[in-house]
Amino acid sequence: MDYEDLYEIDFHNHPKKSEKELFAQYPPDLLLIIEQVLSSKKTFQMIFQDLIDMMKYGFERDEVRHRIIYYKFHKNDTISRSMQLNHFIANLIFWQPLITVDAVGLLDETWIFNLSRFNSKTLMSYINDKILPIYDTDYATKNAMVDDLYNYIISISHAFCLLMGMGISLYDLHQLELRDPTVSHLMRDGVDESLEPHEIENILNERNKELIDHLVNDPLGNDYKPFFASGTGLKEAQFREYIVRIGFKADINGNTVPVLINNNFLLHGLTKPSFVYLNALSGRKALILTKLNCLAA
């Protein structure tokens, strides 16, 4: 297969080679030399594309997803290492910025990213501790390196999220409404705006808890259930704005503005100029606090 026209990785479309050809080229006992894989952008793209395409053919098969890849960082290394294919692909993403600054010789075991501990904090630590400090290069190049890294990560998420059950389907939610009419009422019924603000907030919070309970206990399962079952996936307050009602917003001093946004983001959105204004007004405090926390760090 000629990769002459491959300018960027194709995460979504059909593999470039046949399944038979691809798996014959990468037999189970193949030993990859990382300094050769990262010898140029083109070589990296060719091999990375092949490995991504292997996952496209067999992501649902454990023997493909978790097949062992043997590798050495450098040709003269006495130690050969091994890693699952899915983890190996991810680590290639973290190692590919070294091509840009011609620093592949720095690779050693300290550059291996532990995917079992992947989150935004460990990702930022890796970028700050490994990728950025050691390069004497301009900020535009550094920004481009980090941008490429994030682009690869996000592209893999978009390409494989449905296979991994990480998407949220509106069709799935509609089917739940048909099976359970209470869910539809909790999502779609408005709130009596003549009530006091604290009464409305109590009603919305109770409605939100009831809706979450229906989602978690749905016997047929739904896309939202894993997020709440994990205990860390969705914040209840954010979920309420998304699917029940946005409710009241506060100004920059934390004072509640007594104008009810009697919509949710899923079904209605911000349908009035006043709703857009109130939503933007309440976001200012969060932006300021985030900026102050970044400066303090």
| Most confident option among 2-16, 94-108, 167-181 | 94-108
Would you list the DSSP string of 7-62? -S--SSS--SS-HHHHHHHS-TT-EEEHHHHTSSHHHHHHHHHHHHHHHHHHTT-H
**Sequence spans of domains, the chain:** 19-160, 170-296
What is the reported pLDDT for 82? 96
Predicted model pTM = 0.59
Across the chain, mean pLDDT equals 85
Per-residue pLDDT tens over the stretch 248-296: 998 888 888 999 999 999 888 999 999 999 988 888 877 777 767 666 5
Per-residue pLDDT tens over the stretch 6-23: 457 888 788 889 999 999
Q: What is the CATH number of domain 170-296?
A: 1.10.132
Mean predicted confidence (pLDDT) in 178-201: 92
Greater model confidence, 47 or 288: 47
Question: Residue 4 pLDDT more than 60?
Answer: no
